[in-house]
Amino acid sequence: MNQAERYEEARKKYAAIGVDTDAAIQKMMGIPVSLHCWQGDDVTGFDHDGPLTGGIQTTGNYPGKARTPEELMQDMDMAIKLMPGKKKLNLHACYAIFADGEHADRDKLEPKHFAKWVEFAKERNMGIDFNPTFFSHEKVKDGLTLSSPDEETRKFWIEHGKACIRISQYFAKETGMPCVMNIWTGDGSKDIPADRMGPRMRYKDSIEQILSEPYDKALVKPCVESKVFGIGVEAFTVGSAEFALSFAASHDGCLPLMDNGHYHPTEVVSDKIPALLCFFPEIALHITRPIRWDSDHVVLFDDETKEMAKEIVRNDALSRVYMALDYFDASINRVAAWTVGFCSWQKALLNALCLPNGELKKLQDENRMTELMVMQEDVKTYPFGEVWEEYCRQCGVAADYSWLDAVKKYEAEVLSKR
């Protein structure tokens, strides 16, 4: 059978359990997923030459790392061409692009410093999400930014956050799509602190000052992201899960953002998604793959990735959850890393759309748990690969690993010469 015939057989098999694969594919076409620029240069950015700080770490030294805005955009373009589906661009503030001879510190950043990124996004019909960069900077004092007891330090970072609010509104107005602006810091301490509440009260006040900057709530979606620990921040993290969730719950218009690498290894964000959807009109996700800690491995089509997507789809929350990728692996080809991670999340969403979710819920509500188990296991071996192939065909990209040939060619002709 050819591809069309194989898909037709798969379509019929899914239809027998009440799943319309054509409708699932059409819905997938309109689901935006934010692609993070920092995979391309190992979270370096363009405003500093120092080491990566903030409790995060990139490992590996694969050749071809982007060194300039032009190289990073070129690499992202290469990856985008290989991916199906709708994309947004996710930027950190440290990726500001300055004119020759120009520089602005992070507290003085302006929309004009991101004009080239707006041009890049608009040419590709992409929205832009944004992240203030509270790490890898000389004004991170004693590992602290927004929670610092030094008022000069704290003021600098508050002004950085306010500048990012203004830039986020600029992004939204220019692209016509809401900008998710995520606040995360690596603030904390390596060993047991004597005061946990003081830093948190300062952090709370700092975020409140940032959010006092005027913005249109329909255009800018500020978020607060938590973390359990980081490198050099093992004993105490100011922005813990309880802090971030409580802040978002008590401040109108502020969203909780969950990174599935930012929790204890036995916790799963798939269980947290429906819990938060009970209380928040909208939430945000940073999707990664943690191995024993927030290692930020490339996202794969694995069990927890599937479960996260299932919770979004089965709870009819595709319009309520802002989804962004967040990982960085310097040990493999970076264009391939982008492509594998993006496609894996796309597969997870499409897979969730191809489940008989209504029937499965009905079996649970009627306590027909044997049938529920059997049906959930049976659908695992349905011909999802044929649906994925049809989706990729309609998007004009390869469904199998043949796209890797284009990446190898790009590596030989472009990346290896850097």
pTM of this prediction? 0.96
pLDDT of residue 74: 98
pLDDT of residue 55: 62
Q: What is the mean pLDDT of the chain?
A: 95
Q: Which amino acid is at 101?
A: G
Dig out the tokens for 327 from the structure.
């990982």
- Averaged over 5-25, what is the pLDDT? 97
pLDDT band at residue 232 under the 50/70/90 scheme: confident
330 contacts: CB under 8 Å, gap ≥ 6: 42, 58, 59, 60, 61, 62, 65
pLDDT of residue 101: 87
The half-sphere exposure of 270 on its side-chain side, counting CA atoms within 13 A, is: 18
Catalytic residue positions, numbered = 184, 225, 227, 259, 262, 286, 294, 296, 326
Give first-to-last CA distance, the chain, whole Å: 44
pLDDT at 195 over 90: yes
pLDDT of residue 50: 67
pLDDT one-digit tens code per residue, 238-279:
999 999 999 999 999 999 999 999 999 899 999 999 999 999
Render 37-102 in DSSP notation, one character per residue: GGGTTTS--SS--S---SS-------S----SHHHHHHHHHHHHHT--SEEEEEEEGGG--PPTT-
As to burial, measured by CB atoms within 10 angstroms (0-12 exposed, 13-18 middle, 19+ buried), residue 91 is buried
**At residue 211, what are phi and psi to the nearest 5 degrees?**
-75, -5
Nearest to 380 by CA among 311, 301, 287: 301
pLDDT of residue 59: 80
Spatial contact of 309 and 348, defined as CB atoms under 8 Å apart = yes
pLDDT at 219 over 80: yes
| All structural domains of the chain | 31-353 (3.20.20.150)
Question: CA angle, 46 as apex, 237 and 57 as ends, to 5°?
Answer: 35
pLDDT of residue 56: 66
Spatial contact of 277 and 283, defined as CB atoms under 8 Å apart = yes
Spatial contact of 141 and 155, defined as CB atoms under 8 Å apart = no
